[in-house]
Amino acid sequence: MREQAVPHAGTQLIIVAERGDEAAFTQQGLEKLAALELQPVSLAPQNRPAYRYLEGTLGQSSRRAMLGALYDLVLMLFAQFPDPKQQKSKRNTHPSAEEQEARRLLVYIFPWESLRVEHTSALRARLVDLVDDATYKPSTSNQHLAALRGILRAAWEMNLMSTDCYYRAINIKDISGESETAGRSLEDGEIERILAVCISDPTVKGCRDLAILQLLYITGLRRAEVAGLDRDDYSISAQEVKIRRSKRRKGRTVYLKAEGPRQALEAWLGFRGDAPGPLFLHIRRGGHIVWRSVLPPTHSDEEALGQVKETPNLQNLKRKSGRVRAAQERKGEQDGILADDHLSDQAIYNVVVERAAEAGIADLTPHDFRRNHIGDMLTRGIDLSIAQDLAGHANPKTTKNYDPRREMVRADAAAKIDAPCILWQPAHGLCNELSSSKDTYIKSSLPPISEQRSRRVLIIEQDQ
């Protein structure tokens, strides 16, 4: 067993087994639990509320967000949540694979089923403080409360909490308030600059990244949806892409009518080939396309291996023992490859951030492409319901939040309201104290009286 430090705080809270799938609280962790009047419970991983909630009810992208929220709640209960100033300075950093695993294990072994209304009320009060300090937005705090309710519900469904304790614990209101929507739209010339960076990269990675960026721009897909695409999802003849791995498992179809994205995808398929499997693959140094599974899965190993060898630019890793293969999968996930050869959504994020940095564009994320796409549709007069379907939103209010026309209308309305232009004129004594050059500038800047009246200018003279 080895001790794992909680990031930010540095306090040893858990002990992780060498094989990495088991953990227990340290003496310090047990003391903090005792101070909260909580007792750790020894349960099999599949019998823990965190496992049921995170693995059984959430998709991949939601699972990562809610795991981070639950981890923050644990730190708040242990009074180890980082200082807001430190958190802001590290908001763009990502934890290492070891830190992510330590966070996951800490959330898994925490006794959520022992929380009562006094704990949840204290957590809500802490989240309100974070909103007041401008560390969290109201939506972020409410996401934490949603994660808390979700894991408590899982504990209740598993008969680890009584009905009375459960309903009392979740009887906490959301935090009210509005904030600016995160992200931004692309500015003029930014899409051309970031695409030019990919075009100037003569390697196969430049070809793949160009296809990814074009697809993000023209369809507004979520990064997890782009990462989850298969080759069969893209139809060249129909000029459409079917989204099967979507949020809330709700499929839809988007269309590629623009020639630029189609050309970029077809150029990438020239390297990748038409074999079934993920549409976008990981690329090693030297331009080797990594395909770890044996293709096609319906053929024998010998036929599949032979087929992969005949496909250019595809690197196949042969089947090995379970332990070696598991180690390869863990290493692959760190490199942005999932166990089924799909890129992770973090890999898509890295493509956007890295290419934007090469183009000299700051603070650009995959979601900005989505915001830009939805905003363009609404600005061009596309019906809200159609934009909602293409974006894959369950609620039209979500789509409406991307509408830039509200700000445009507000700005136009403000411009229609006029007010008199009032110029301040210094008193005579003050004029004498000013330098001659500045005095001359003030007098010369004032228009004649007749022109002042025609322009609704009011001169206010101040006497000593």
Q: How far apart are CA 388 and CA 376, in angstroms?
A: 13
Q: Are residues 339 and 235 both part of a single domain?
A: yes
Residue owning tokens 């040893």: 12
What is residue 100's predicted lDDT score, i.e. its pLDDT? 80
CB 51 within 8 A of CB 158: no
Which residues contact residue 422 at a Cβ distance below 8 angstroms, ignoring those fewer than 6 apart? 457, 458, 460
Quick one: pLDDT at residue 318?
35
135 neighbors 189 (Cβ within 8 angstroms): no
In this predicted structure, what is the pLDDT of residue 442?
Answer: 46
For residues 368 and 299, membership in a common domain is answered with: yes
Question: Cα torsion for 54, 58, 60, 61, to the nearest 10°?
Answer: -100
Judging by beta carbons within 10 Å of its beta carbon (0-12, 13-18, 19+), is residue 293 exposed, middle or buried? middle
Q: Do residues 352 and 391 share a domain?
A: yes
Q: What is the DSSP letter of 231?
A: G
Do 202 and 331 have their domain in common? yes
User: Where a domain ends, among 169, 201, 236?
Assistant: 169
- The C-alpha atoms of residue 425 and residue 434 are separated, in whole angstroms, by 13
Distance CA 194, CA 196 (A): 5
Instruction: Please check whether residues 69 and 140 belong to one and the same domain.
Output: yes
Quote the longest CA-to-CA distance of the chain.
Answer: 101
CA 91 to CA 117: how far, in whole Å? 30
Q: 91 CB contacts (<8 Å, ≥6 apart)? A: none
CB neighbours of residue 286 within 10 Å: 8
Strands 282-283 and 2-5: unpaired
Q: Give me 312's structure tokens.
A: 């250019």
Residue 165 sits in the same domain as residue 197: no
Q: Residue 45, SS3?
A: helix
Q: Could you tell me which residues are beta bridge partners of residue 253? A: 242
Give a yes or no: residue 147 inside a domain. yes
- Number of domains, the chain: 3
Residues 129 and 221 reside in one and the same domain: no
Residues 342 and 207 in one domain: yes
The DSSP code for 281 is -
Calpha distance 399→421 (Å, rounded): 40
Q: Residue 429, Cα to own-chain centre: how many angstroms?
A: 61
In a domain, 222, yes or no: yes
**Structure confidence at residue 397 (pLDDT):** 85
CATH of residue 330's domain is 1.10.443.10
Using a cut of 0.75, tell me whether the model's pTM lies above it.
Answer: no
**Residue 36, domain member (yes or no):** yes
- Amino acid letter, residue 149: R
Contacts of 318-321 spanning 24+ positions with Cβ under 8 A: 319/294
Q: Report which of 43, 62, 214 is spatially closest to residue 114, judged by C-alpha positions.
A: 43
Domain assignment of residue 178, yes or no: no
Positive/negative CA dihedral, 453, 454, 458, 463: negative
Domain membership flag for residue 23: yes
- The answer to whether residue 20 sits within a structural domain is yes
- Of 87, 102, 91, the closest CA to residue 8 belongs to 87
Kind and range of the H or E run holding 425: strand 421-425
- The predicted pLDDT at position 166 comes to 95
- Whether 291 and 199 map to the same domain: the answer is yes
Pair 161, 239 in one domain: no
- CA-CA-CA-CA torsion sign (127, 128, 134, 140): positive
Q: Is 457 helix (H, G, I), strand (E, B) or coil?
A: strand
In a domain, 406, yes or no: no
Q: Which pLDDT tens digits describe the chain residue by residue (464 residues)?
A: 454 444 444 456 776 655 555 677 878 888 888 888 888 877 777 788 998 998 888 877 788 889 999 999 999 998 877 765 555 444 445 667 777 888 888 898 899 999 999 999 999 999 999 998 888 889 899 999 999 999 999 999 999 999 999 999 999 999 987 766 667 888 889 999 999 999 999 999 999 999 999 999 999 999 989 998 999 999 998 999 998 877 766 788 999 999 999 999 999 999 888 888 899 998 887 777 877 543 433 333 333 333 333 333 333 333 333 434 444 444 444 445 555 678 888 899 999 999 999 999 988 999 999 999 998 898 888 899 999 889 888 888 888 888 888 777 878 888 888 888 888 777 766 666 555 554 444 444 545 544 544 444 444 444 44
Task: Report how far residue 58's alpha carbon sits from residue 247's, in angstroms, rounded to the nearest whole number.
Answer: 9
> Residue 436: which domain range?
421-461
Which sign does the torsion angle of CA 12, 17, 20, 24 carry?
Answer: negative
In a domain, 179, yes or no: no
Q: How many residues make up the chain in this entry?
A: 464
Give me the phi and psi of 249, to 5 degrees please: 55, 35
**Are residues 39 and 161 located together in one domain of the fold?**
yes
Q: Are residues 94 and 231 in the same domain?
A: no
Q: What is the pLDDT of residue 340?
A: 63
